[in-house]
């Protein structure tokens, strides 16, 4: 039956079995044949070719009749597998039907449409995985709406926040990515323009065949052929790229939170090490990050291919085939893996609270400054608290101790204690979580 592009030693590491099955060589061959069969049916509906010829062509378009590896070898001489495939289809139909095989179409019509069919199927599967990941984020945001933790900026402790807000941030990005991907999916269109985008071989029936072909295949019907208008491919590439970036952000946070010295998060299952028996690596997130490192180059390649010459390009659309499938492959793997991680993510509120207290109250310095600013002025209060925070760090004592011992701090003990309570300096975190959850419930990102 031929090779499967995403199998072997490395394919399963970065992909998702079901998504990959929608993208591999078997799926591509089936999509090429689906185009040829649908074209025959559409032309018979319009009256371009005899019904019995269409039936013969459809009967010949069975994937098991053809070998993808053999077609690939023969494609080396034509630049695409379409020419050898249509020749083989012709050999399987009666002689009087052969002239109607691939009638009015060109190789780019078949390849572009086949890739759109693969993308349509794959993005539907990806969308379901993204929905599962988003739902898992929503559950984490609900459950941990008020769970305090450290917000880190530029790699350092900044202010108190909540894990619910972190999860809500993941959720909001995923919902935007889902909506963008759904919009790009809806734009995936059939390609049918013939040799030069005019459908001259079909005379005045060209547009009717185009509409019937789109209906047969379940793709959008474009207003005109898009041989040299690659915006659909670019929109899809951009949506996939930003989706993997959103997934990579989640994976990065999980990896950082899983470090032993942080200990706030853990994947539901960990990967071992070939050398160190004690290791429990966040390997699923690591694989998502690997996908996020690879996708920008693929997106860039697809954009760079968007400079076709005249009415049919010399190589630009050929350059899209492999990067587009690779991009869908990586997105499928990243989406599925993230959904699994989030569904079983282990959250440790006790470590989050312990890390909040790690700086001995220095994380609340901004709040203390605000309390002192009423009497000292903003600048003087800032400088004083900065000085005392440095003193506390150098002496290895809590900021509270230094504040209470300094006569310049005109705050009562109860006021100092209140100012240094991280659970009461969370601002609008709860409201932001609620807003993200409300938007998600209203169907953010639904296809």
- Catalytic (active-site) positions: 273, 312
Distance CA 342, CA 271 (A): 16
CA angle 133, 136, 141 (to 5 degrees): 125
* Inter-residue contact 348 to 309 (CB < 8 Å): no
Q: Say if CB 168 and CB 431 are below 8 A apart.
A: no
Can you tell me the distance from the alpha carbon of 285 to that of 290, in angstroms, rounded to the nearest whole number? 9
Segment 95-99 long-range contacts (CB within 8 Å, at least 24 positions apart): 96/53, 97/50, 97/52, 97/53, 97/56, 97/57
| String of DSSP letters for 29-55 | HHHHHHHHHHHHHHHHHHTSS-HHHHH
What is each CA distance from 425 to 162, 289, 348, 388, 419, in whole angstroms? 10, 33, 20, 20, 8
Pairing mode of beta strands 265-266, 156-162: unpaired
3-state helix, strand, coil in the chain (%, to 5): 65, 5, 30
C-alpha angle 308/312/313, rounded to 5°?
40
Place of tokens 């052929």: 225
Please name the residues in contact with 53: beta carbons below 8 A apart, sequence gap of 6 or more.
Answer: 40, 44, 93, 96, 97, 100
CA of 268: how far to CAs of 117, 121, 280, 340, in Å?
35, 29, 11, 8
DSSP for 252-279, please give it: HHHHHHTSTTT-SEE-SS-B--SS-TT-
| DSSP assigned state of 148 | E
For 112, counting Cβ atoms within 10 Å of its Cβ (0-12 exposed, 13-18 middle, 19+ buried), the class is: buried
- Intra-chain end-to-end CA distance of the chain, in Å: 34
């Amino acid at each position: 039956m031929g090779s499967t592009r995403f199998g072997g030693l490395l394919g399963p590491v970065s992909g998702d079995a079901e998504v990959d099955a929608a993208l591999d060589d078997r799926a591509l061959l089936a999509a090429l044949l689906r185009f040829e069969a649908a074209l025959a049916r559409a032309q018979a509906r319009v009256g371009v070719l005899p019904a019995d010829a269409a039936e013969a062509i459809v009967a010949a378009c069975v994937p098991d009749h053809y070998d993808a590896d053999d077609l690939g070898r023969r494609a080396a001489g034509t630049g695409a597998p379409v020419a050898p495939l249509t020749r083989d289809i012709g050999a399987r139909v009666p002689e009087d039907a052969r002239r109607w095989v691939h009638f009015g179409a060109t190789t780019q019509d078949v390849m572009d449409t086949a890739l759109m069919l693969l993308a349509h199927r794959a993005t539907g599967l990806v969308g379901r995985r993204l929905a599962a990941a988003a739902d898992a984020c929503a559950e984490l945001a609900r459950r941990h709406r008020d769970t305090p933790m450290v917000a880190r900026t530029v790699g350092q402790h900044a202010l108190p926040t909540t894990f619910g807000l972190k999860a809500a941030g993941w959720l909001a990005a995923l919902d935007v990515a889902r909506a963008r991907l759904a919009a790009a999916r809806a734009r995936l269109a059939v390609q049918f323009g013939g040799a030069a985008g005019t459908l001259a071989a079909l005379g005045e029936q060209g547009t009717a065949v185009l509409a019937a072909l789109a209906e047969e295949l379940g793709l959008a019907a474009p207003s005109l052929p898009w041989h040299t208008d690659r915006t659909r491919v670019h929109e899809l590439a951009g949506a996939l790229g930003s989706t993997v970036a959103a997934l990579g952000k989640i994976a990065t946070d999980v990896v950082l939170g899983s470090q032993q010295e942080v200990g706030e998060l853990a994947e539901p299952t960990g990967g071992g090490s070939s050398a160190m028996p004690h290791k429990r690596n966040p390997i699923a997130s690591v694989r998502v990050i690997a996908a996020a490192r690879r996708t920008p180059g693929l997106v860039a390649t697809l954009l760079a291919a968007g400079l076709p010459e005249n009415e049919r390009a010399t190589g630009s659309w050929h350059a899209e085939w492999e990067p587009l499938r690779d991009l869908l492959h990586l997105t499928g793997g990243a989406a599925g893996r993230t959904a699994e991680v989030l569904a079983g993510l282990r959250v440790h509120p006790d470590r989050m609270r312990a890390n909040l207290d790690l700086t001995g109250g220095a994380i609340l310095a901004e709040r203390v400054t605000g309390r002192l600013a009423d009497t000292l002025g903003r600048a003087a209060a800032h400088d004083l608290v900065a000085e005392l925070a440095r003193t506390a760090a150098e002496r290895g004592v809590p900021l509270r101790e230094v504040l209470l011992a300094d006569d310049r701090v005109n705050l009562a003990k109860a006021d100092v204690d209140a100012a240094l309570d991280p659970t009461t300096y969370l601002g609008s975190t709860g409201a932001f979580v609620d807003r993200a959850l409300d938007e998600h419930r209203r169907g953010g990102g639904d296809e």
